[in-house]
Amino acid sequence: MNKNLYQPINGEIADIIDESPTIKSFVVVPEEEFRFATGQFVELTLPGEGEAPFTPSSSPAITDKMEISIMKAGRITALLHECEKGQKVGIRGPYGSGYPIEDFIGKEVYIIGGGVGLAPIRSLFLTLVDRIKDFKSVICRYGAKTPEDFIYKNTLFDSWQKIKGVDMKLTVDQGNGQWKDNVGVVTTICAKDDVDVKNAVAVICGPPIMMKFATMKMLEFGFKNSQIYLSMEKNMSCGFGKCGHCMLGKYYVCKDGPVFTYDQIDKYPNIWD
């Protein structure tokens, strides 16, 4: 008999980092070693309140703790934002299949992120830069509403930009006095010349509307549907393809995804809703 699928591993919030006015990162320490592949997600339980799905933003190389960046968006996330260090939590997972890193080898990896969508992308980014020589280049195009809304500011504005083989550009929807960079939605910093489409993959993660327009942009650049990797955030609950809430056409996003190539899902209605 397998162990009880519904029973989370006990854990504790060891640290909380304020990332932006609406996003906090939680350092979660599980009571036992916890391994995940980049792009996989976990169900984080606030005992007595409920659970919600999140993709860890830390490197999968770290197995004694994980970082989860959470935007205040609903009931559970609002409660999590009120938590303090030492809060007991439960962790189930990891679930899903994550990013197929091996398929990216030798290619240009074109990453487009928006808002809290940088969370899963950070885990991917850290995984890629760990073995940067395996990839032709890593190109990041990342947008936030305002300069204050960027997360991981310390590294994003500094050390990440200096990594050899990484080409990073940032944009905001709305600037402030200090912002010297681009103003406009994320697709305004994506240019066809950025990337050799024939030998590249596009990875997109962010709010649905941004993912939709970024996908359109990539198609315009000449990417095939099968070269575009989308991190689909649906209502994942059980995590193993049974409860049905996250179904996207024939797929259980929790089990068959959450990362899909666009050609897998382009025929289904309302994928961006």
Partner 1 sequence: MQTVFLTDLKPLLAAVAERMDLYVPKNAGTHYVYNRYDPSAGVPVEVNNIRVCTPSKEFLFPLRELAAVFPEPLEPKEIEPFAVFGLKDCDLRSIEILDKVFTEKEFEDPFYVKRREKMFIISSDCSDPADSCFCNVLNGRPFAQSGFDLNVSKVKGGFVVEAGSPKGVDFITTHSDLFIQAGDEVIAQRDTKRAETQNQLEQNNADLKFDVPVNEIVENGQDSDVFDEEAKTCVECQACTRVCPTCHCFYLYDTKKEDYFSKMKMWDSCMRIAYAEVAGGANPRKVLGDRLRHRFMHKFSYFLERYGLDMCVGCGRCVDAEAGDVDIREVLKKLNEELKGEGKKKAKVGK
Contact residues for partner 1 (CB under 8 A)?
1-8, 10, 45-52, 73-77, 88, 90, 208, 233-235, 237-238, 240-250, 255, 269-271, 273
Would you say 2 or 178 has its CB closer to partner 1?
2
| Shortest distance in whole angstroms from residue 97 CB to partner 1 | 13
Would you say 108 or 233 has its CB closer to partner 1?
233
Q: Which amino acid is at 252?
A: Y
Element (H, E) at 238: none
- Neighbour tally for 167: CB within 10 Å: 15
Alpha-helical runs (H) found in 146-261:
153-154, 160-162, 208-221, 253-256
How many Å apart are CA 191 and CA 160, to the nearest integer?
Answer: 21
| Shortest distance in whole angstroms from residue 183 CB to partner 1 | 24
| Shortest distance in whole angstroms from residue 162 CB to partner 1 | 34
Rounded to an integer, what is the distance from CA 181 to the centroid of its chain?
23
How many Å apart are CA 41 and CA 164, to the nearest integer?
Answer: 29
Contact, 140 vs 126, CB < 8 A?
A: no
Strand, coil or helix: 124: helix
| Shortest distance in whole angstroms from residue 18 CB to partner 1 | 20
| Shortest distance in whole angstroms from residue 171 CB to partner 1 | 22
Would you say 5 or 62 has its CB closer to partner 1?
5
How many Å apart are CA 253 and CA 235, to the nearest integer?
Answer: 9
Count of CA atoms in the C-beta half-sphere (13 A) of 9? 18
| Shortest distance in whole angstroms from residue 79 CB to partner 1 | 11
| Shortest distance in whole angstroms from residue 163 CB to partner 1 | 32
How many Å apart are CA 158 and CA 19, to the nearest integer?
Answer: 15
Strand, coil or helix: 263: helix
| Shortest distance in whole angstroms from residue 43 CB to partner 1 | 9
Question: Token digits for 26?
Answer: 């939680």
Q: CA torsion, points 241, 237, 253, 125, in degrees to nearest 10?
A: -130
Would you say 26 or 221 has its CB closer to partner 1?
26
Would you say 49 or 130 has its CB closer to partner 1?
49
Would you say 84 or 158 has its CB closer to partner 1?
84
Count of CA atoms in the C-beta half-sphere (13 A) of 145? 9
Would you say 184 or 249 has its CB closer to partner 1?
249
Would you say 11 or 127 has its CB closer to partner 1?
11
